[in-house]
Amino acid sequence: MPSIDPITRDLWQVIAATDEVPVGLVEITTLLDVRLALTRDNDGNPVVWRRTDEEQGDEIDPETVLDRLPVITGYGYIWTSLGTPPKELFPIPEYAEADRKNMSCGSIGLAVSAPRAVENFLDMGHFPYVHTDILGAEPHTEVKEYDVEVSEERDEVLATRCKFIQPRAAKSATEAMEVEYVYRVPHPFCSVLYKSCPEDENRRDVIAIFLQPMTEERCRAHLLQSMIDSTSTITDLRRFQQTIFGQDKPILENQYPKRLPLDPRAETPIRADKSAIAYRRWLSQKGITYGVIPMAS
């Protein structure tokens, strides 16, 4: 079994959407090559443990589970850790705003490492080719100059002033517009984006991707939307996000190698990839080795 680096071990890792875990029934999943079982007790609180012989759908009395892993809930999801996690999850303050539609959009399996999926989430250059006629369309393919920094105080990668011409930026969009994005990577396997909101020009829609590294080369993408949209239903909004994600999936699954190479000489970066370069460097400096091909020392 591959070794888990200490940074990864001590992080909170997402494993399921809270509402989708039935009370008193076993759900099974894999995290960092470890087989896990989870359920919720009568109060709805999640219980997570290392799976032994439980099967999917078994009935279980959560009281009988003694050897539990740490658990925290946040942004509609259950998070656990194989090590000693920090007190709190990274912040997404917008999630608490009362008028937002917050929703999970399904947990989807991907045959690629979690960091590859994060990098795809940060990437604007693929919009016209992969999300044709929705997030981009030829001939408008240019990725203009934008800013990237690694925020010291919050220990996260931040890309700002990212702009792209989009035919249909959101469910609520009706015409093409130049959309501005901000991207955050507050966790090695999670990213949050803020984009211009068609309904209210002073606010931003928030979309996040939380990746559950199942193995080094396979992950589960948990999607969160926190939208300002007074007309669409949750089903509509989910459908929009799943359409987008369903387009990324075949690209990600055709990427080789499946782990993210951190050696700068493995792939060819261009200016548009500034955020990806910063992300790779950040992972490298942190000492993450799970799901990546570390730089040869």
Partner 1 sequence: MTLSLSDPTWYPIASSDDLPFRHVYQGQLLGRELAVWRADDGNVNVWENRCLHRGVRLSIGINEGGELKCQYHGWRYANRSAGCTYIPAHPADAPARRIQNRTYPVREAYGLIWSAANDEQAFRPFAGAEGHDWFALRPMPVNAAPEDVLAALAGLAPDDQPADLLPGLAVRFGGTWYFVQPVDAGRAVIRGLLREQPADAVATLRHYNETLSKLRDRLERAAARKPAPEPLQPTFEKLSADLATMPDIAIPRGNTITVVVRRKWTSADGVIGFELAARNGHLPTFQPGAHIDLHLPNGMTRQYSITNGPGELMSYIIGVKQESASKGGSKVLVETVREGDLLSISEPRNNFPLRRDAVRTVLIAGGIGITPLLSMARFLDKSALPYELHYFTRAGEQVAFRGDLEALHGKVILHTGLPRAEIGTTIASALGQWSMAQHVYVCGPGPMLETVRDTATAQGWPEESIHFEYFRNDKVIDNSSAFDVELARSAMTLHVPSGKTIMEVMRDAGLTVPSSCEQGACGTCLTTVIEGEVDHQDVYLNRSEKASNTCMMTCVSRAKSARLVLDI
Partner 2 sequence: MTITLYDFELSGNCYKLRLLMSILKLRYNIVPVDFYPDRQHKADWFLRLNPFGQLPVLKDDDLILSDSGAILAYLAKKYDESGQWFPNDPAVTAEVLRWHAVADDITSTASAARLALGFFYDFDIEKAQKGAHRIFRLMDEHLWFGEREGRDWLCSPDHPTTADIACFPYVMLSEEGGISRQDYPALRRWTDRVRRIPGFMVMSGIFPAGRAAEES
Q: Name the residues that contact partner 1, by CB under 8 A.
A: 119, 123-126, 128-130, 138-143, 250-251, 254-257, 261, 263-274, 277
Of residues 42-61, those binding Fe ion (CB under 5 A)? none
Of residues 233-272, those binding Fe ion (CB under 5 A)? 248
119 binds Fe ion (CB under 5 A): no
DSSP 59: B
Of residues 97-126, those binding partner 2 (CB under 8 A)? 104-111
CA–CA dist 248, 135 (Å, integer): 12
In contact, 47 and 39? CB cutoff 8 Å? yes
Give the residue carrying structure tokens 């996260």: 156
Give the residue carrying structure tokens 């690629």: 112
CB of 258 to partner 1, least distance (A): 9
Q: Which does 269 bind (CB under 5 to 8 A by kind): partner 1, partner 2, Fe ion, none?
A: partner 1
20 binds partner 2 (CB under 8 A): yes
Instruction: State the binding string over 34-63 for partner 2 (x if CB under 8 A, else -).
Output: ----------------------xx------
CB atoms within 10 A of CB 182: 18
Q: Pick between residue 35 and residue 271 the one whose CB is nearest to partner 1.
A: 271
CA–CA dist 41, 49 (Å, integer): 13
24 binds partner 2 (CB under 8 A): no
Q: Pick between residue 13 and residue 289 the one whose CB is nearest to partner 2.
A: 13
CA–CA dist 15, 39 (Å, integer): 11
In contact, 156 and 150? CB cutoff 8 Å? yes
CB of 206 to partner 2, least distance (A): 19
Instruction: State the binding string over 250-279 for partner 2 (x if CB under 8 A, else -).
Output: x--xx-------------------------
SS3 40: strand
DSSP 133: T
Q: Please tell me whether the peptide bond between 250 and the residue prior to it is cis, using omega within 30 degrees of 0.
A: no
